[in-house]
Chains A and B, each alone.
Chain A
């Protein structure tokens, strides 16, 4: 039964991925107006008829929709995400160049917010109902409602411009020939503010989940059993409560990974960070549709993968979800 459930889960992922791909294929072709403009970029009006024909042929628009679809799938399978007529480059190159930076931001932010959110959530649960808990709770709820770009701007103007602690933009000092530790430090100092901004956006979610999960676990019968065994308050919280509360928190975190990618659009734009999020922003403002589509697809896959990660991680935390 368990293997059955697992394989049906895999099937679900494949299905969702296929739907995303299909939508991505259909949308430009179903939109009103000239699909050529959507595939080849807004400048298509400036092209000569011969160039148009060439673009159309290259995009396969002269073929039947079924042929186009299979060709599209074939391209995807071989790692071809299309061509940016704006930048005159294969899109896959553009994405590969940006992806590591976004991974750096989203990954660090996730790690940071996980550690901080879980620790503060556990702390709050320990001090439940007392001033320290209530203050922290208030701060987190307030933080949760702050708009991300506003927070980012605030950081830039304060830490980068006013205090000059950190660079205000970019991922690495341009035209520098840094090596080793200096290079790492340079990259890190560029990443601090965007990572902090991204983290501050997801810490409240993790914190609230952890705190709530711990408080509800505290009411469980097995906590009373632990107390009746003579386990100390700290032992109860860490060995019994936190361990159980981690399951929902891990799920939230994995789902947040997907959200963190979304957050990078705003944060990378504010910090002029050369990641995937900024690529989306550039594509949207330049109306470079093929690039937009390709990056959306990458984001979809990222969200799916983080869901998959949650599914894989969950049994490690909760033995009831393990196959026997």
Chain B
């Protein structure tokens, strides 16, 4: 047990920890106290099994997340990668139970977080997790902050709800956090409104909000997609350093496999509501076992393409998620597809390497792909 895993933690101890850690910004995943669960080294922070989230539309029921299972260790950084519309955001929103109602609903599965099934918590217990144990950063910092409230108050709100801090203590914490995420003159800027901040600065504020209560899990949904390229690197850097420092596990959602490669320990590749490949970063990069993953890698600038050679993009469109065919969902776009691929959907099965799994007939035992 450490201060980090004790809830509700004494605010003073938490603040001291934050303050003292200001100057030991360094390598990742050091202090082991937070890297393992309270029940011992074996337990996972998050175990999602058979999660299905559907969205009811005029055209039919969209299977946005379709029987998705994955795990996350304490302090681990997991990349959730895939093209637009494959269900990345819905997966993250499902974990927080923030799927937009009433159109969307989690229809099945289990989300074990610190040993508790989030899907069985009461609304109030769930609110306690949101912003407390689990923080989330959204894609568009320009619209994700409330325009009529001061920056400092928006950060402090979280600290007041979860840490039970007084108005004053919460404001102080907000200033500390602003400083922590690299906002100069934090005390003054805390009194500003969102419109007085640039996009990159606002995303820093979003990070401060997400981290306000020392979450043990951070969900970052395309945190840099809406930002300038130069700012992107800074924000990613910040997420990496802060999550490492506080041993926060991160689920980083991105459609850019390159970003995931630079930041994550493991990667889940999603396609059409399903996980199609998962494994350690090196494993996936050195030996992708699913043509869709290879396709994504081929579209990373400067990675697999020689200088001057045009980037390859994957031809075609993902299938409609209303009544998807009982076939490999990538079959229509896969240049390696064979008859079996159209006849039935492959399971997510082991590919030998540590935790390496793929959903592909071609690389399964007796398959035709390397």
Q: Which residues of A contact B (CB under 8 A)?
A: 129, 220-222, 224-232, 239-240, 243-244, 247, 317-320, 324
B146 and A222: CB pair below 8 A? yes
Number of A-B contacts (CB under 8 A): 76
Contacts A/B (CB < 8 Å), 20 sampled: A222-B143, A225-B146, A225-B206, A228-B96, A228-B98, A228-B131, A228-B136, A229-B131, A229-B157, A229-B161, A230-B158, A230-B161, A232-B127, A239-B149, A240-B146, A244-B146, A247-B148, A318-B147, A319-B195, A320-B147
B102 to chain A, nearest CB (A): 8
Q: Do A224 and B98 touch (CB < 8 A)?
A: yes
| A229 in complex: contacting residue of B140, B195, B196, B209, CB < 8 Å | B209
Name the B residues within 8 Å of A244 (CB-CB): 146-148
Query: Contact between A226 and B146 (Cβ–Cβ < 8 Å)?
Result: yes
Interface contact B149-A224, CB-CB below 8 Å = no
* Complex-state Cα separation, A220 to B128, whole angstroms: 22
Given known A-B contacts A318-B148, A320-B195, A230 and B128 have beta carbons under 8 A apart: yes
CB atoms of B130 and A229 under 8 A apart? yes
With contacts A229-B157, A319-B193 known, is A221 near B129, CB below 8 A? no
Nearest residue (CB) in B for A240 is: B146
Q: Any chain A CB within 8 A of the CB of B145? A: yes
Point out the residues of chain A lying under 8 angstroms from B127, CB to CB. Answer: 230-232
Residues of chain A within 8 A of B143, CB atoms compared: 220-222
Instruction: Give the distance in Å from the alpha carbon of A318 to the alpha carbon of B149 in the complex.
Output: 9
Q: Of all chain B residues, which has the CB nearest A220?
A: B143
Q: When the two chains form their complex, are residues B193 and A320 in contact, meaning their CB atoms are under 8 A apart?
A: yes
A224 touches B147 (CB 8 A): no
Considering the complex of A and B, which 8 residue pairs feature the smallest CB-CB distances, nearest first? A230-B131, A229-B131, A221-B143, A230-B130, A319-B193, A222-B146, A228-B136, A229-B158
Q: Which chain A residue lies CB-closest to B159?
A: A229
Q: In the assembled complex, how far is the CB of residue A248 from the closest CB belonging to chain B, in whole angstroms?
A: 12
CA distance A231 to B146 in the complex (A): 13
A227 — which chain B residues lie within 8 A by C-beta?
96, 98, 130
Chain A residues closer than 8 Å to B157, beta-carbon distance? 226, 229, 231, 239
- Name the residue of chain B whose CB is nearest to the CB of A246: B148
B138 within 8 A of A: yes
Chain B residue numbers with a CB within 8 Å of A324 are 196
In the complex, what residues of A have CB within 8 A of residue B161's CB?
229-231
The chain B residue with its CB closest to the CB of A247 is B148
Q: How far is the CA of A244 from the CA of B194 in the complex (A)?
A: 14
Within 8 A of A (CB), among B66-82: none
Contact with A along B92-119 (1 / 0, CB 8 A): 0000101000100000000000000000
Choose among B128, B138, B158 the residue that contacts A221 (Cβ–Cβ < 8 A). Answer: B138
- Besides A221-B143, A222-B143, A222-B146, 12 other CB < 8 A contacts? A222-B145, A225-B138, A225-B144, A225-B206, A227-B96, A229-B131, A230-B132, A230-B158, A230-B161, A239-B149, A243-B149, A319-B148
Chain A residues whose CB sits within 8 angstroms of the CB of B138 once the complex forms:
221, 224-225, 228
Size class of the contact patch on chain B: 20 to 34
Alpha-carbon separation in the docked complex, A229 to B128 (Å): 9
Say if the beta carbon of B162 comes within 8 Å of chain A: yes
Distance from A136 Cβ to chain B, minimum over Cβ atoms (Å): 20
Q: Which of B129, B147, B193 has the most CB of A within 10 A?
A: B147
The residues of A that contact B158 with a CB separation of less than 8 Å are: 229-230
Measured CB to CB, the nearest residue on chain B to A229 is B131
Closest-by-CB residue of A relative to B150 is A319
> Nearest CB to that of A243 among chain B residues?
B148
CA distance A244 to B149 in the complex (A): 9
Minimum CB–CB distance for B328 against chain A, Å:
34
With A and B bound together, what is the CA distance between A324 and B130 in angstroms?
34
Across the two chains, which residue of chain A brings its CB closest to B140?
A: A221
Encoded as 1 (CB less than 8 Å from any A CB) or 0, chain B from 326 to 360 comes to 00000000000000000000000000000000000
Contacts of A243 in B (CB 8 A): 146, 148-149
Closest to A223 in B: B146
B152 to chain A, nearest CB (A): 13
CB distance from A214 to the nearest CB of B (A): 14
Give Cα distance in the complex from A226 to B195, angstroms: 17
- Cα(A129)–Cα(B102), bound, Å: 10
Contacts of B209 in A (CB 8 A): 225, 229
Contact partners of A229 in chain B: CB under 8 A: 130-131, 157-158, 161, 209, 212
| Contact yes or no, A228 B130, CB < 8 A | yes
Contact A230 B162 (CB under 8 A): yes
Q: For residues 169 through 222 of chain B, which have their beta carbon under 8 Å from a beta carbon of chain A? A: 193, 195-196, 206, 209-210, 212
CB pair A222–B147 under 8 Å, yes or no, is: yes
How many angstroms between the C-alpha atoms of A318 and B135 in the bound complex?
28
A239 nearest CB across to chain B (Å): 8
A230 to B212, alpha carbons, bound, how many Å? 12
Residues of A contacting B130 in the complex (Cβ-Cβ under 8 angstroms): 227-230
Residue in B closest to A228 when the chains form the complex, CB atoms:
B136
Find the B residue at minimum CB distance from A226: B146
A212 to chain B, nearest CB (A): 18
A225 contact set on B, CB distance < 8 A: 138, 144-146, 206, 209
Assembled-state Cα–Cα distance A232/B124 (Å):
8
Residue in chain A with minimal CB distance to B155: A229
Shortest CB-to-CB span from A291 to chain B, Å, is 46
- Complex-state Cα separation, A228 to B137, whole angstroms: 9
Q: Hey, which chain B residues are within 8 Å of A240, CB to CB?
A: 146, 149
Complex: how many Å from CA A232 to CA B147?
19
Chain B residues within 8 Å of A220, by CB = 143
How far is A221 from B149 in the complex, measured between Cα atoms in Å?
14
